[in-house]
Structure 1
Amino acid sequence: MKLDPADVQLFFDLMLPLQWYVSQQAKLLPDIKTFKAYTDSSMDDKIIVRDYLFDHPELIDQFIQDNPNNLEADKLSLIDPWKNFIHGDFFIERLLKKYSIFIDDKENVYAVLGLMEGLDAFMDKRDLPVRVQTILLPFKGKIIYDGFFRWYNIFFGGGIKSSLKQTYLIAKDNNAIIDTLEPDAIPTEKKGKKVRKQSTDQDWGPLLDELAEKAKKLRGGGGQPATYSPIFSLVRTSIELAQLATADSPDIDKLFKKGARLDTLLQQVEKALLRNV
């Protein structure tokens, strides 16, 4: 789940000169005077340059045009696709032998390689999913991350884990895992396979609205078994989660909160059941 060592070296041989060029053009690190000093600089310094670069991707074209390092055309052709980068928040859902699975907020599923190490070198599968902010880049027909993560210290319960697993399995079953960001490359997941289009025509809104209205009548208490109240709450919250998930533009924050609420209700149901054992 990582690049070959030779490709890792090639990546840094291209990325570091690009970053140094950006730093000079934007005068980001005035105290760093040489390329050698930049390569030896702190991670914080490099993140400043990295963030500026991808906020101003036109500098990639400028670097290629100026070509201050006199790079060969084949190496410049590896830098040009970096304009197709994806900068955002991702769930790392699982670590596979060939690559790691990243899922964005639009439920796109990416096959991502590590650089010097696979992600399993500093990430325990038992802690997944985790949420990170990073930049995905095309490199020689594959997807890599740029070496920097910003971590979110969030614990995800069973509801979110199940939803992400389902998203991955749907993408896998439909040969829809994205393993390249280069428009001219053929994703390996799709070579020789006919992609089955997933239907998105179903409008679940009316049915879910009807179920939500009926679920309002579910009430515990009044001498009924103690399990009824948390179970009925679980039903109503599940319907509300489905309504959020099937909206035209799902609000990821609201989905998180509703998923967390489901986890709490499941624990309440479990406690209620144990009291009746």
Structure 2
Amino acid sequence: LLVYVNDRFEVIEEIETVADFEQHYTDELLPLRNTLYNESTTDLIEDFVEENPPDLSEADLEQIEAWADFVAGEFVVVRYREDDAIFLDWTEPPQAYAARPARLPFVELWDESALPVPVSSVVLLPFENQIVYDGWIGVKNIIFG
């Protein structure tokens, strides 16, 4: 999907294929991810599913289509458990999401004593009947005094 976004918006000149994509570090790919969620995300996902440029299976396309129900924004991580973390969204109406990690377990991101942790630039996605975050997460600093 991100290669498709790059084809549409020419965000990173060197990326034309999945192999090109895989040669970049995660932080180098952040502009692509931001483009996906700053443009008309639902339209991009629908177009990708309809065109299916990588010739994905029907099951994979259904999974990608479900990503149109993403939630993006700022959250507060108030707790983590063995398999997920609790993300609170304070916008109206307030919501709580139990999200699974994309790569690293949450215990490797924060010490439990650091909780609650305000985070920004988070995208939560439905994936196989669960919620995952997309792998990018910004920690917000809070300064008192």
Same fold (TM over 0.5): yes
Number of residue pairs the alignment of both structures matches:
140
Q: C-alpha displacement at 1:115, in angstroms? A: 2.0
Structure 1 pair 101/117, CA: closer, same or farther in 2 (3 Å)?
same
Which residue is 2:136 aligned to?
Answer: 148
Aligned pairs for 1:20-169 within 5 A: 20-55=3-38, 56-57=40-41, 58-106=43-91, 107-133=94-120, 134-154=122-142
Say what the alpha-carbon RMSD is for the aligned residues. Answer: 1.6
Q: Distance in 2 between matches of 1:100 and 1:35?
A: 30
Could you list the runs of 4 or more consecutive aligned residues of structure 1 that deviate by over 4 angstroms after TM superposition?
Answer: none
Q: Distance in 1 between matches of 2:114 and 2:66?
A: 33
Q: C-alpha displacement at 1:26, in angstroms? A: 1.1
**In the alignment, is the contact (CA less than 8 A) between 1:130 and 1:154 conserved in 2?**
no
Could you tell me which amino acid in structure 2 is paired with residue 89 of structure 1?
E
**In the alignment, is the contact (CA less than 8 A) between 2:76 and 2:87 conserved in 1?**
yes
Structure 1 pair 108/51, CA: closer, same or farther in 2 (3 Å)?
same
Q: C-alpha displacement at 1:112, in angstroms? A: 0.8
Q: Which has the higher contact order (CA 8 A, sep 6+)?
A: 2
Q: C-alpha displacement at 1:96, in angstroms? A: 1.7
**In the alignment, is the contact (CA less than 8 A) between 1:90 and 1:105 conserved in 2?**
yes
SS at match of 1:112: strand
Q: Distance in 1 between matches of 2:4 and 2:71?
A: 21
Aligned pairs for 1:223-242 within 5 A: none
SS at match of 2:68: helix
**In the alignment, is the contact (CA less than 8 A) between 1:100 and 1:111 conserved in 2?**
yes
| Pair member with larger Rg | 1
Q: Distance in 2 between matches of 1:122 and 1:98?
A: 13
Q: Percent of pairs identical after alignment?
A: 29
Structure 1 pair 108/46, CA: closer, same or farther in 2 (3 Å)?
same
Q: Distance in 1 between matches of 2:82 and 2:32?
A: 32
Residue ranges of structure 1 left out of the alignment (5+ in a row)? 1-17, 156-259, 265-277
Q: Distance in 1 between matches of 2:17 and 2:61?
A: 22
Q: Distance in 1 between matches of 2:75 and 2:95?
A: 10
SS at match of 1:153: coil
SS at match of 1:49: helix
Q: C-alpha displacement at 1:64, in angstroms? A: 0.4
Q: Distance in 2 between matches of 1:68 and 1:99?
A: 33
TM-score for the superposition, normalised by structure 1: 0.48
Q: Which has the larger helix fraction?
A: 1
Aligned pairs for 1:240-259 within 5 A: none
Q: Distance in 1 between matches of 2:9 and 2:23?
A: 19
Q: Distance in 2 between matches of 1:26 and 1:46?
A: 13
SS at match of 1:93: strand
Q: Distance in 2 between matches of 1:103 and 1:30?
A: 37
Could you tell me which amino acid in structure 2 is paired with residue 44 of structure 1?
D
